[in-house]
Structure 1
């Protein structure tokens, strides 16, 4: 018996070289390639991802590094109503009080990023959880969650936001972002539920149930990958909704002016008559350009990363652990 055991161990060691069992190092390399490097290669293969990533990274750098390099907006930073590119101490020009428009745009970016992150993440997570659980579980759980979703959808969004802002007077950008999407999750949850209803009867989901896979694993491995492109697009739509909603409320004066915002810049430009004179139209165009730029970056990024969830494309871009050469198209 000892001889048999010894010979079995030797055959195991030789089979490792044949490629059957893999070492821990190879397993880690394969996991890193599949989980991290392959998604990066797939995403970066599309020009939309490249441009969108560059735009988003530009705003992130502007909201982190830029605020340390650019002075906060104050009165008298330059001669009042200086056009762009005339005085390089205020390269984007000044407003009617001599405040630098560059300073205003840069220092409005950090709270905007916080609002986008909080609002878009909140609405997307709530919608995905509610829609997935309702569609997969069915029965009383589905009826209860669907009723909650329908109630949220029937409440007018803008009056509800204005009421909540008036009641709580939020100062934190993260809280403002969540309030702006307080019922925006409902429509996405409804759509996700419809998709999950059609997915739960597919053969591969039924096979996982027959094999006794827990519900959490089925949702994670079989359901969520199929709805993630739609979820990602709606995450971007939620982010854009936060951008436009916050700018609109700041422009109307419904949110406090405790920190800089592009909506406040637009409000001051409009009130000072910039809309009526081509000479001062830059005062409006610069914050509008900042709004359009970050929205456009999110849209391009979402469009370019749709292929991340296509298993065929991911397999084509994956490299084996034995092949250390870079992937070639």
Structure 2
């Protein structure tokens, strides 16, 4: 019976994992580093397993991201939105009409730092209270996209046959559906008010492109040596998909998750602006619509009314773009190994310095 270790005979290294062409020995799969290191020894205690998972999935990615300005800026922006949204929702009272003086310009009052609109609504409070809803929509849309796309694409590519034909047909139908008209019709018919339902609605057909791309990747992976070895030794299909197939797809899935969230952001703002989505909680699209309908584009004293939500949208989008670009380095095995080695050397240097310091103290 063939196993993954069958190649490690006569002192020869295992070749069940493909290597890069330059002979460096680095795994061709972006997540082979994670996968090989992530095989936790069953003899380890619970605390040791937790430490090992934290090192592989938190510490080592952080070593890469902390040296990439795009990752740092992107994480800072997104984290700031999350923190401000939570704190604002907890401690900042919602604004209302007549909350302050009408048409107050921004940066003129400590009570209303970003000014007020035509009706005395505090624009800073309104902008902050719109953050939780848009983040919920973005998260729901991103999760729906990657779950649907990953499940459909993986099953279609791995199973093949009739299952592949049926799922591929469904995928092709959704790919060819007119996205914006479909969303508008569904929004008018169902009038969803939940932020999570709206996020799913806005990505109702976006998952199909991900499913097709994943299917093509799985068709190649299913015939790799290590996948064949897993089938030969009788591993369940679910285990093979989780351990051998999905790790290859993680970089692409992660990037598409961020892309789906950006799609939800712009789609939601646009559809709220034109009045397709039902008005409920405070939303940047509604703010832009109200500002435009009241002539903020042509009245200098109201220009900040339309600029503030626009800036909030653009900055959040830039943060997601930068984070998405930096993820390629996080999943690059060569970069991870380099930064891992640098991190270990730094820790060794710190230990040496600490040891010398203790010796001097004792002396």
How far apart in 2 are the matches of 1:238 and 1:286? Answer: 24
Q: 1:154 aligns with which of 152, 169, 176?
A: 176
Q: Within the alignment, does 1:314 sit opposite 2:336 as a pair?
A: yes
Q: Which residue of 1 aligns with 2:259?
A: 237
Q: Unaligned regions of 5+ residues in structure 1, if any?
A: 1-19
Q: 1:249 aligns with which of 253, 271, 274?
A: 271
User: Residue by residue, what CA displacement relative to the aligned partner does 1:147-180 show, whole Å, maximum 9, x if unpaired?
Assistant: 1111112221112211211222111111111111
Deviation at 1:53, TM superposition (A): 0.9
User: Residue by residue, what CA displacement relative to the aligned partner does 1:298-324 show, whole Å, maximum 9, x if unpaired?
Assistant: 1111221223323343344447xx999
How far apart in 2 are the matches of 1:21 and 1:230? Answer: 30
| Cα pair distance change 1:87/1:35, threshold 3 Å | closer
Q: Within the alignment, does 1:183 sit opposite 2:200 as a pair?
A: no
- Greater shift in the superposed pair: 244-253 or 299-308: 299-308
Q: Which residue of 1 aligns with 2:69?
A: 47
| Cα pair distance change 1:23/1:114, threshold 3 Å | closer
Q: Within the alignment, does 1:166 sit opposite 2:192 as a pair?
A: no
Deviation at 1:184, TM superposition (A): 1.2
How far apart in 1 are the matches of 2:44 and 2:299? Answer: 71
Q: 2:155 aligns with which of 133, 145, 159?
A: 133
How far apart in 1 are the matches of 2:115 and 2:235? Answer: 62
How far apart in 2 are the matches of 1:171 and 1:64? Answer: 20
How far apart in 2 are the matches of 1:327 and 1:201? Answer: 45
How far apart in 2 are the matches of 1:28 and 1:99? Answer: 49
Q: Contact 1:77–1:98 (CA<8 Å) still a contact in 2?
A: yes
Query: Which portions of structure 1, spanning 4 or more consecutive aligned residues, are displaced by more than 4 angstroms?
Result: 20-23, 25-28
How far apart in 2 are the matches of 1:323 and 1:174? Answer: 45
Q: Contact 2:118–2:302 (CA<8 Å) still a contact in 1?
A: no
Deviation at 1:50, TM superposition (A): 1.0
Deviation at 1:22, TM superposition (A): 7.2
Q: Which residue of 1 aligns with 2:141?
A: 119
TM-score, normalization: structure 1?
A: 0.86
Deviation at 1:28, TM superposition (A): 4.9
- Greater shift in the superposed pair: 273-282 or 129-138: 273-282
| Cα pair distance change 1:309/1:221, threshold 3 Å | farther
Q: Which residue of 2 aligns with 1:305?
A: 327
Bigger fraction of residues in helix: 1
Q: What is the total number of aligned residue pairs between the two structures? A: 308
Q: Unaligned regions of 5+ residues in structure 2, if any?
A: 1-40, 351-363
Q: Contact 2:103–2:301 (CA<8 Å) still a contact in 1?
A: no
- Greater shift in the superposed pair: 201-210 or 180-189: 201-210
TM-score, normalization: structure 2?
A: 0.78
Deviation at 1:38, TM superposition (A): 1.8
Q: Contact 2:227–2:244 (CA<8 Å) still a contact in 1?
A: yes
Q: Which residue of 2 aligns with 1:202?
A: 224
How far apart in 2 are the matches of 1:291 and 1:327? Answer: 44
Q: Which residue of 2 aligns with 1:259?
A: 281
